[in-house]
Amino acid sequence: MRSDLDAIVVRDPCINALRISYFIQFDPALVSFGTTYGSHDAIGSLQIIQGEEAVMNTNVSGTKYRMTLGLPVGAVMNCADNSGAKNLYVIAVRNIKGRLNRLPAAGCGDMVVATVKKGKPELRKKVMAAVVIRQRKAWRRRDGVFLYFEDNAGVIVNPKGEMKGSAITGPVAKECADLWPRIASASGTVV
Please give the pLDDT value at position 59: 54
Q: List pLDDT tens digits, range 80-92.
A: 999 999 999 999 9
CB atoms within 10 A of CB 156: 22
The mean-pLDDT minimum among 10-19, 98-107, 146-155 falls in 10-19
In the chain the beta strands, taken as DSSP E runs, fall at 8-12, 17-21, 36-40, 44-48, 71-72, 76-79, 85-93, 105-106, 111-119, 127-134, 139-140, 146-147, 153-157, 171-172, 189-190
pTM of the predicted model over 0.95: no
Mean pLDDT over the full length of the chain: 78
Amino acid at 84: G
Helix (H, G, I), strand (E, B) or coil at 140: strand
Going from the N-terminus, what domains does the chain have, and what CATH number goes with each? Answer: 8-48 (no CATH), 71-190 (2.40.150.20)
| Surface-to-core class of residue 83, CB atoms within 10 Å of its CB (0-12 exposed, 13-18 middle, 19+ buried) | buried
Q: List pLDDT tens digits, range 104-131.
A: 999 999 999 999 999 999 999 999 999 9
Helix (H, G, I), strand (E, B) or coil at 124: strand
CB atoms within 10 A of CB 43: 11
In whole angstroms, give the CA distance from residue 134 to residue 114.
Answer: 15
Q: List pLDDT tens digits, range 53-74.
A: 333 344 556 677 889 999 999 9
In whole angstroms, give the CA distance from residue 26 to residue 5.
Answer: 4
Please give the pLDDT value at position 78: 97
Please give the pLDDT value at position 16: 45
Which comes out higher in pLDDT, residue 54 or 139?
A: 139
CA nearest 60: which of 165, 182, 170? 182
Which comes out higher in pLDDT, residue 181 or 2?
A: 181
CA nearest 97: which of 41, 137, 56? 56
- In degrees and rounded to multiples of 5, residue 178 shows phi and psi of -70, -35
Please give the pLDDT value at position 169: 96
Check whether 20 has a pLDDT greater than 60. no
